[in-house]
Structure 1
């Protein structure tokens, strides 16, 4: 699925729709250049989940956890990490439900992951002259899942 997102507000609204409708256990792998809208999309997801906290990219903290919504949001940013460093964090604990409550896991710079969960959405954000474009690819059980607009 390819979506045209003419501005940051459209990107946020797409995220809002995802946050309102995605089930617990969803992993979203975000890719795109700096400024493509990854954090803006996650801010919309948080809004859709009912989280009122300020959502900032966890570039230096690596992981921010939010529990004030209908389900938790785990926001990860791998920008500063090499793939081996990302692997050493054992991020699978965020989607396997063994150590924490299942929620939505949004991972910026997901191309740095050596391993991926069984089910995930890959969202490629591209910045264009007239806005942004999102290419959404589902994998596993999320392959044919449709978000509620």
Structure 2
């Protein structure tokens, strides 16, 4: 949105990026697609390429969200065959994106790849059961983040 508000006929696109469908200072990006679990990765790439090459409102900044390998890592674990297969799929999607940019004569671009966190496996021998040290019913757990929060009940 800030990109678009800067003027010079700039346009942006948000492909399933978390929060991308909320208005900022009363505006939404020119191009946008809300999240859908079953929307194929390559179809997402095809859509953002259309935004970038759009003759009337070409996007000069695009955010493309792919929920993997996070979802598979949480579901199957960091050392799983399923996660390795998902990593290959994500690698293939990035290669498809780069090929699509080249095939559509988009040569001057910056590609920034982000992730939200890493993963490691945990064995039961390394788990600390905090309930052994706390009186039942006197505390609350906050598990909304990767960091466990324990606080006394009020």
Shared fold (TM-score greater than 0.5)?
A: no
If each structure's strand is expressed as a fraction of its own residues, which one has the higher value?
1
TM-score, normalising length: structure 1? 0.34
If each structure's helix is expressed as a fraction of its own residues, which one has the higher value?
2
TM-score, normalising length: structure 2? 0.33
Q: Which of the pair has the greater relative contact order for Cα pairs under 8 Å at 6+ separation? A: 1
* Higher CA-based Rg: 2
